[in-house]
Structure 1
């Protein structure tokens, strides 16, 4: 089974390949016929080659949104100090009163926003965001250095591999109808992961042996997670308690399955 580090590398390489086509697609969206003429010239007037290139370009709007969402997750895990920069290049500035070339963002470009002055002078349009996309790609590329650097902290990745193995064990127990044992293991995984997230965010814990509820509250109070995620963790904790402590009511297969798969989701999305 490939490690989490291997999976991150595979995702990184795929996103990097996709970024080339997305940049080309954006250039075509911005410049249209000018782009096509330049492409034909670069293909030495080979119309067939130019057409094959054009046919390979994805629809920018849908391809970018998918690429952006996946890149966010990868950057948050491997290069968190650049996450805010990556987001800033996409999102409209909060409190923006008027649109200029300087504060035009990729989000504006996706909406096709075009600002003119005196009826004809273009202040900002889609092309104003091309440099922002270039910067986002540059941030993504810089992740490569984290993989290759001896300073790269793989503690969380190793921890993730161990948690994946434990969840696989829980699934196997669930498959053979050992409900409480499966739920207990999944609960331990959730507790370990939330504790690791607290450590990653330098959150001080007052209890020596904090529970899932304690860890969940600490993450919410430190604004690491929002209320919907907090409620989801509480729900998973309730099922874990049913498996561990409540001997009068048996957990159902559906409840334990929800717990195991819910914990798997948390370990992949909450960092």
Structure 2
């Protein structure tokens, strides 16, 4: 899971950097004179060296867009349709103007002219604002990356723990009560450990009992929840350590159901 989250972080940062280069490439293709003057006179940089470092927009954009759409769909799902709208030509578009010119038009070198003198109504430079908006979506994700990844991390953790609890339920169904209880106890311990880590609470011994005490002292949980986790700990001990008697079906069911409640309500 950690590797997955870190890969997302790297992908967003890489797409942001590529977006900067694509935007500069697009501007340079449309306004080379202005770009050269800006780099030479304002930034005091070698324009020709800069120009050599730029990608060819038409060949580099599609891979960028595919990855950007996947990441926006994952991290900023409400904006995915906006990203697509800025790329695809509208099906119901009756005429092309500067306002509805999209990146797909740019890739096809679409230019709309009017009159005897072929005055340009909408041309490739009209796509620059569309790409700027797409780029700003990636920049926005970069700005809220940690909170976005935290949400994903929580979802992944919840899915993993739910899967483990499902295994415990299957073991209990087949009357392997001690094994089922041991799995549920492990899930509870993992979840409490994640809660403590997320809240940066120091716990010397990461046992259910000690983490429960710490969460109560830090007022993360109220007394009824503290007592509930304490009872679950007792059932966990029965399954993990008490060899004098076998845990009963109802006790294991209480442990599984109680753990499920904790992982869904204690964060």
Would the alpha carbon gap of residues 27 and 5 (structure 1) be closer, same or farther in structure 2, given more than 3 Å must change?
same
Match of 2:13 in 1: 13
Match of 1:22 in 2: 22
Contact 2:5-2:149 at 8 Å conserved across structures:
no
TM-score by length of 2: 0.54
Partner secondary structure for residue 47 of structure 2: helix
**Structure-to-structure mapping, 1:114-129, within 5 angstroms:** 114-118=111-115, 119-129=117-127
Partner secondary structure for residue 121 of structure 2: strand
**Structure-to-structure mapping, 1:233-248, within 5 angstroms:** none
Indicate which of 136, 141, 157 corresponds to 1:138.
136
Partner secondary structure for residue 13 of structure 1: helix
Match of 1:249 in 2: none
Would the alpha carbon gap of residues 8 and 112 (structure 1) be closer, same or farther in structure 2, given more than 3 Å must change?
same
Contact 2:5-2:153 at 8 Å conserved across structures:
no
- Alignment pair present for 1:89 and 2:86: yes
Contact 1:4-1:161 at 8 Å conserved across structures:
no
**Structure-to-structure mapping, 1:162-241, within 5 angstroms:** none
| Count of residue pairs the alignment pairs up | 161
Would the alpha carbon gap of residues 65 and 156 (structure 1) be closer, same or farther in structure 2, given more than 3 Å must change?
farther
Unaligned 5+ segments in structure 2 are 161-267
Match of 1:66 in 2: 63
CA distance in 2, matches of 1:150, 1:105: 28
Q: What's the C-alpha RMSD, in Å, of the aligned pairs?
A: 2.7
Partner secondary structure for residue 54 of structure 1: helix
TM-score by length of 1: 0.54
Contact 1:106-1:133 at 8 Å conserved across structures:
yes
Deviations 1:35-72 (A, max 9, x none): 3333322343x6xx222111100111111111111101
Would the alpha carbon gap of residues 58 and 157 (structure 1) be closer, same or farther in structure 2, given more than 3 Å must change?
farther
Partner secondary structure for residue 83 of structure 1: helix
Deviations 1:101-157 (A, max 9, x none): 111111101111111111332111111111111111111112134433389522576
Would the alpha carbon gap of residues 43 and 97 (structure 1) be closer, same or farther in structure 2, given more than 3 Å must change?
same
Partner secondary structure for residue 123 of structure 1: strand
Indicate which of 50, 67, 80 corresponds to 1:53.
50
Larger Rg: 2
Deviations 1:193-234 (A, max 9, x none): xxxxxxxxxxxxxxxxxxxxxxxxxxxxxxxxxxxxxxxxxx
